[in-house]
Structure 1
Amino acid sequence: MATVYREVDVPSQQGKTALVTGANTGIGFHTARVLAARGARVLLGCRDESRAAEAIAAIQSKLPDADLAWLPLDLASLSSIEKAAGQVQQTESHLDLLINNAGVMVPPKTLTEDGFELQFGVNHLGHFALTGHLLPMLKARADARIVNISSLAHRGAAIDFDDIHAERKYSRMKRYQMSKFANMLFTFGLQQRLEASGSGALAVAAHPGGSNTELGRHIGLMRFLFLPLEWIMNSAAEGALPSLRAATDPDAKGGDYYGPTGMGEFARSAGIAKVDSAARDLEAINRLWGISEALTNVSI
């Protein structure tokens, strides 16, 4: 039987600084909480100041000495992303962990401030831009790590390069799957580039399996399909374990992908997960990379 991975297995993060996007709720909140408990300074990257303050207060009610700060960040706005990255560069002496956790799932068709389809824009392009802006800081740390949070939904997905903004057709679930597939392509492409540059930083990915969080607030009637599974779903705290292991496991290798170790990778603990082989396709990686750089005007 595989060893059960728990919060107490997260090694000391003393002296490290982490940025967790979407850290005001759900998996991001618990990721931030545990990293702070293990000694890291944690920046909570999210839009709403009041919700960030609530999250910080909730963590500090149990961990009074937790070193936490709100970073104003709207991943649906390239200007907000650039401003947030600039703030990190000005206020922080170093950055060791970037956990690209925030996401949107199956909303009605919406565009970002810059005209991107929301799921692709936030889940992939926003994090691509943020990573690009912060990469010099991360590469300055010998053991820095970038963690992209993907999903079981990446399996069987593809990038619709001919309709990248869903101008012809919008399928909520297919677009969500596409954005999560993009997270995987980005992870492998980033790791290749880090290695080529001689950097010791690692790009890794994780997925939470089936977790009961706010992410699914737009699924509507589809929620009834998940009711029989709720009794085996991870809590948000359990869903954060793969993210935490990806971010802190001393044995992690670039390109590793973590997820729950239970049946179908749906729930429980955290270990190495199965990657759809299509996510390692070099042509798709490079094509997405070029489009992402062009759309965000951020070169990596």
Structure 2
Amino acid sequence: MARRPLDITVPTLTGKRAVVTGASDGIGLRIATALAAAGAELVLPVRDLGKGGAALTAIRATAPAATVSLHPMDLASLESVATFGDALRREGDPVHLLINNAGVMTPPDRRTTVDGFELQLGTNHLGHVALVAHLLPLLRAGRARVTSQVSVAANQGSINWDDLNWERSYDGMRAYSQSKIAFGLFGVELARRSATDGWGITSNLSHPGVAPTSLLSARPELGRAGDTRSVRVIRWLSARGILVGTPETAALPALYAATSPDAKDGHLYGPRGPGHLGGAPAEQSLYTRLRDQDEARRVWQVSERLTTTSLTLG
């Protein structure tokens, strides 16, 4: 039985500048398209300019009047992130929305970023931390809302402080959970520091639930030649409207967290269905692993050191 389509109302975003990572396809493309349709000026940092160009064409098919610019940026390279940040700071325009959506999931074998970090830690967490650091003056100027995409995996596992880079033993799923826990703690700490120090930035979290996206599909660049069994099962369930979401519904929590006037600082938004795997977006209890303020401060400090950035405003 076909499920009834879900959607949310995105407020008018005319005059707002939005940066969305991971917008070349999947959830990110759907988020970017909805923002463009609401009138936002889009800035899309993309690793693959060819895929970015195809995404731009798709966005303009829905929002012909959209203002969209592409910039090269690879979250797995701190130099690339810095170059993108420099380019936006030279433009000088305030950023009103930042949606940290891009990510990689469970390479079968341990892989590293250009800078030598375990790929999931480096891409999902450290690359985004560096992005926030480089854009901080523009985020403050725009009194921005920063929405960071975590995962249901942030509700399991822990941060492997004794071996952050998984050099002694690699477990893809545990490393993925670690990256999302660290990123969630960073988002919560960003909310706390902005409120304490008067930065004017709102920071919250979203997660897409479970849906048939490219995260678990064939990704030769990650060493995954074929689709995983998990994504085949998820596709089967999604097509039948059983438990999990769709690529369309998976985009809604981040859209809600980033644009709704009712979305709150430091809170988490995800699907409201059973197990929070699918359905319409709603506020959820912050995962227990994201509540420890000491752990959040530790993540903040270690992330500054590893990315060689400063998350302060003079």
TM-score, scaled relative to structure 2:
0.90
**Separation in 2 of the partners of 1:37 and 1:280?**
35
Contact 2:189 2:297 in 1 (8 A): yes
2:288 aligned with 1:270? no
**Separation in 1 of the partners of 2:48 and 2:296?**
33
Alignment of 1:24-43 (within 5 A): 24-43=24-43
Instruction: Give the secondary structure class of the aligned counterpart of 1:272.
Output: strand
For 2:251, give the aligned amino acid. A
**Separation in 2 of the partners of 1:10 and 1:223?**
29
Instruction: Give the secondary structure class of the aligned counterpart of 1:43.
Output: strand
Contact 1:10 1:38 in 2 (8 A): yes
**Separation in 2 of the partners of 1:211 and 1:60?**
25
For 2:114, give the aligned amino acid. E
**Alignment identity in percent?**
40
Quote the residue 1:289 is aligned against: 300
Aligned-pair CA distance for 1:57: 0.5
**Separation in 1 of the partners of 2:11 and 2:161?**
41
2:296 aligned with 1:253? no
For 1:152, give the aligned amino acid. V
Aligned-pair CA distance for 1:198: 1.1
Contact 2:211 2:247 in 1 (8 A): yes
**Separation in 1 of the partners of 2:30 and 2:213?**
11
For 1:119, give the aligned amino acid. Q
Quote the residue 1:88 is aligned against: 88
Aligned-pair CA distance for 1:234: 2.1
For 1:117, give the aligned amino acid. E
Aligned-pair CA distance for 1:226: 3.8
Once the two structures are superposed, what CA deviation does each residue of 1:223-257 show, in whole Å capped at 9, x if it has no partner?
45546533333222211100000001112221011
Contact 1:78 1:114 in 2 (8 A): yes
Residues 14 and 224 of structure 1: CA distance in aligned 2, closer, same or farther (over 3 Å): closer
Quote the residue 1:185 is aligned against: 185
For 2:135, give the aligned amino acid. L
Quote the residue 1:49 is aligned against: 49
Contact 2:112 2:118 in 1 (8 A): yes
2:86 aligned with 1:100? no
Aligned-pair CA distance for 1:116: 0.2
TM-score, scaled relative to structure 1:
0.94
**Separation in 2 of the partners of 1:75 and 1:177?**
18
Between stretches 20-29 and 85-94, larger displacement belongs to 85-94
Aligned-pair CA distance for 1:28: 0.5
**Separation in 2 of the partners of 1:97 and 1:223?**
30
Alignment of 1:123-272 (within 5 A): 123-142=124-143, 144-217=144-217, 218=224, 220-223=228-231, 226=234, 229-230=237-238, 231=240, 232=242, 233-272=244-283
**Separation in 2 of the partners of 1:148 and 1:213?**
18
Aligned-pair CA distance for 1:5: 6.7
Quote the residue 1:67 is aligned against: 67
Residues 228 and 54 of structure 1: CA distance in aligned 2, closer, same or farther (over 3 Å): closer
Instruction: Give the secondary structure class of the aligned counterpart of 1:98.
Output: strand
Quote the residue 1:120 is aligned against: 121
**Separation in 1 of the partners of 2:303 and 2:53?**
32
Quote the residue 1:110 is aligned against: 111
**Separation in 1 of the partners of 2:130 and 2:71?**
16
Instruction: Give the secondary structure class of the aligned counterpart of 2:290.
Output: helix
**Separation in 2 of the partners of 1:271 and 1:215?**
23
Instruction: Give the secondary structure class of the aligned counterpart of 1:39.
Output: coil
CA RMSD between the two structures: 1.6
Instruction: Give the secondary structure class of the aligned counterpart of 1:52.
Output: helix
For 1:194, give the aligned amino acid. S
For 1:120, give the aligned amino acid. L
**Separation in 2 of the partners of 1:186 and 1:116?**
18
Once the two structures are superposed, what CA deviation does each residue of 1:236-286 show, in whole Å capped at 9, x if it has no partner?
221110000000111222101110111111101101023222211012111
2:7 aligned with 1:6? yes
